Structure 1
Amino acid sequence: MELKTPLYDVHVAAGGKIVPFAGYLLPVQYKSGVIAEHMAVREKCGLFDVSHMGEVMFTGPTALASLNHMLTNDFTNMTVGRVRYSVMCHENGGCVDDLIVYKFGEEKYLVVVNAANRHKDVAHMKEHVLDGTTIEDISDSIAQLALQGPKAPEIMAKLLPEESIPKKYYTAIEEVYIKDLKCMISRTGYTGELGYEIYTAAENGAKLWEILMEAGGEYGLIPCGLGARDTLRLEAAMPLYGHEMDDVITPLEAGLDFGVKLNKPEFIGRDAMLAAGTPQKARVGLEVTGRGIIREHQPVFIDDVEVGITTSGTHCPYLGKAIAMAYVPADKADLGTLAEVEVRGRRIEAKIVELPFYKRS
């Protein structure tokens, strides 16, 4: 049985089309539609309910050591108020999940994980945690909203003094008050756009939504659903677990080496990645040059030989073209390489292009 986020009734009242996703009932779109929601985030601002995401607290004298042991990135030099992306791996180097880590104290870290993986992730963490670290899954007590788009700073400035708004990308402020609601704010997001993710107590979620929507009215803020969240992240070439990552694909194959520090003394999956050497396959971008739209799990051909598989694909509203991500052999991944993707028995022409497809100027 699917769960409801603290904002379920808000979405229904706003005309959201509700669908099951990652164990929750969430809006896939509102009356404005996916294209309008996508364009609002690129040009003005959109508000997402991401309360289905998982939040896990790491506390105690060995919290840092536990994170460095379990995760691919290095948190040793991380300062309070910083946010850092990482992957959590199996011993074979495959991805358990990708996640972000917030540092709020020398013995206090918040880890945010993907909704569909929450229980699997927490079980993995508890299995591999070091003595002296306490792990607490606080997901059910948290509402999380994502305010995304170029007008987001102006909307936040209506609600908070300048010193209460994170300035740099991947930074956070643990305690601020929007009206009388206690919140945590980070300058993060999953859209490739400037924006913030705002955390508050579950019981305050609906009120926070109302406050943000009212403040953003003059800036064109509209509610956005899962559909736009997916097209936006694909345009920005952000990987999604279960598509670009899984229990077998390593973060190096996924092109996430910026979040993998092989020079750390140890972490789960490090030895397997070192033993595998240079990745033999690569995540690439495909731009459709023929007619049609590519989706996930469709075979990729180069020189009439099947060489790979697509992982995500759609027509992107802002770019105005069909794109996809795929895995192909590393020696076939050169930019400009011509390819074909088989869609329902028909080959669609494409070419390998640079990632990300969209980057905010």
Structure 2
Amino acid sequence: MKHTRLHGRHTTLGARMADFAGWDMPIQYPKGIVFEHLATRKTAGLFDVSHMGRFRVKGERAIDFLQRFLTNNVLNLSPGNSHYTILANPQGGAIDDAYLYQLDVSDYVLVVNASNAQKDVEYLHSQVSAFTGVTLEDISESMAMIALQGPQSEALLENLLEAGALPPKRRNALNRATLCGAHAIVARTGYTGEPICFEVFIAAEAVEALWDALLDGGAEPVGLGARDTLRLEAGLPLYGHEFGIGPEDAEIAALACPVAQYAVSFDENKGNYVGKEALLRQAEARKRYAAGDFSQMRDLPWVIRPFRLIDNGIARAKTVVYDTDKPVGYV
């Protein structure tokens, strides 16, 4: 299995480790998932997310390349901003969902799921040659990534700030800063639903010092177990559950997931892109559903909704959901 640069820190802290997408990652630390979840909500949770894929896209035609293969409108970005997006296939399914960060004019970082990183980079590499002057570099090993989420996160980072500044106080903003003697990119993004949230990109050789300093400042380490409960509480999707292949071995339409509407653009200046026609049909089907018209179910056979258990228990993936005695869906 692969290890992030923080693997030794996790084992020293007594984390329970397990395979996640080929990475040996912390599932929880000795205080447990509930403690880690609540610590993130009440103070500050620190996450190692270096297992995720990070690709640098640069060049004069970088925007053309990204507009073609990502569903959101890159023209709405400017240096120092980011947004949620989807790498779609022609059928309107999600090859992956991702976050795109614009560092400078014609300079972007695309962050993708660990489970899809290899197929994503292979797919994008197979397409980039058609865009003269565009370079696509996998920087997943050279650039580490950690997340600091929760009410005390900003104060913890400010205490370590040596140069530059934290991003403006708005969602998806990013800025360059020096933390613990190393250059970093700090973004107000995250996967927990916390309003005060940061993800930090930093050279792999510098991440251990930053991790240690944040723990010394009072952050609590959080594993993938609480990361999952936090994203569920916030209603955020996870590829392999709300995107990808569903319980009946059929691909889930991207717009079946409500959050996907923020990742898909039909702006006129967005132009054509992979999956657009299918996504337009899905969007129309959602509108019809809202009016009680189910005539376009073939375009959007499933929609994803929250539900509440009526008794104690665990809603495990692929469990059938019933309305009285009628099966109406799956977890």
Q: TM-score, normalised by structure 2?
A: 0.88
Aligned residue for 1:267?
A: 273
Unaligned runs of 5+ in 1: 311-361
Aligned residue for 2:4?
A: 5
Q: Secondary structure at the match of 2:121?
A: helix
Residues 296-305 or 35-44, more deviating: 296-305
Deviation at 1:304, TM superposition (A): 2.0
Counterpart among 207, 211, 234 of residue 209 in structure 1? 211
Deviation at 1:303, TM superposition (A): 4.4
Aligned residue for 2:261?
A: 257
In the alignment, the residues of structure 1 paired with residue 264 and residue 253 of structure 2 have an alpha-carbon distance, to the nearest angstrom, of 10
Deviation at 1:137, TM superposition (A): 0.7
Q: Secondary structure at the match of 2:253?
A: coil
Could you tell me which amino acid in structure 2 is paired with residue 188 of structure 1?
T
Aligned residue for 1:77?
A: 76
Deviation at 1:265, TM superposition (A): 2.1
In the alignment, the residues of structure 1 paired with residue 76 and residue 8 of structure 2 have an alpha-carbon distance, to the nearest angstrom, of 43
Deviations 1:234-261 (CA, angstroms, capped at 9, x unpaired): 1001100000000522221111112111
Poorly superposed stretches of 4+, deviation over 4 Å:
none
Q: Pairwise mapping of residues 1-361 of structure 1 onto structure 2 (< 5 A)?
A: 2-129=1-128, 130-132=130-132, 133-160=134-161, 164-166=165-167, 167-173=169-175, 175-193=176-194, 194-214=196-216, 216-217=217-218, 221-246=219-244, 248-255=251-258, 256-263=260-267, 264-276=270-282, 277-278=284-285, 279-310=300-331
Contact 2:164 2:177 in 1 (8 A): no
In the alignment, the residues of structure 1 paired with residue 312 and residue 208 of structure 2 have an alpha-carbon distance, to the nearest angstrom, of 43
Contact 2:28 2:222 in 1 (8 A): yes
Unaligned runs of 5+ in 2: 246-250, 286-299
Deviations 1:96-127 (CA, angstroms, capped at 9, x unpaired): 00000111122111100111100111112122
Contact 2:62 2:107 in 1 (8 A): yes
More strand by share: 1
Contact 2:79 2:102 in 1 (8 A): yes
Q: TM-score, normalised by structure 1?
A: 0.81
Instruction: Figure out how many residues of one structure are paired with residues of the other and give that number.
Output: 304
In the alignment, the residues of structure 2 paired with residue 24 and residue 69 of structure 1 have an alpha-carbon distance, to the nearest angstrom, of 31
More helix by share: 2
CA root-mean-square deviation:
1.5
In the alignment, the residues of structure 2 paired with residue 8 and residue 112 of structure 1 have an alpha-carbon distance, to the nearest angstrom, of 20
Aligned residue for 1:345?
A: none
Contact 1:251 1:260 in 2 (8 A): no
In the alignment, the residues of structure 1 paired with residue 119 and residue 197 of structure 2 have an alpha-carbon distance, to the nearest angstrom, of 29
Q: Secondary structure at the match of 2:76?
A: coil
In the alignment, the residues of structure 1 paired with residue 158 and residue 135 of structure 2 have an alpha-carbon distance, to the nearest angstrom, of 36
Could you tell me which amino acid in structure 2 is paired with residue 139 of structure 1?
S
Deviation at 1:161, TM superposition (A): 6.5
In the alignment, the residues of structure 2 paired with residue 98 and residue 25 of structure 1 have an alpha-carbon distance, to the nearest angstrom, of 22
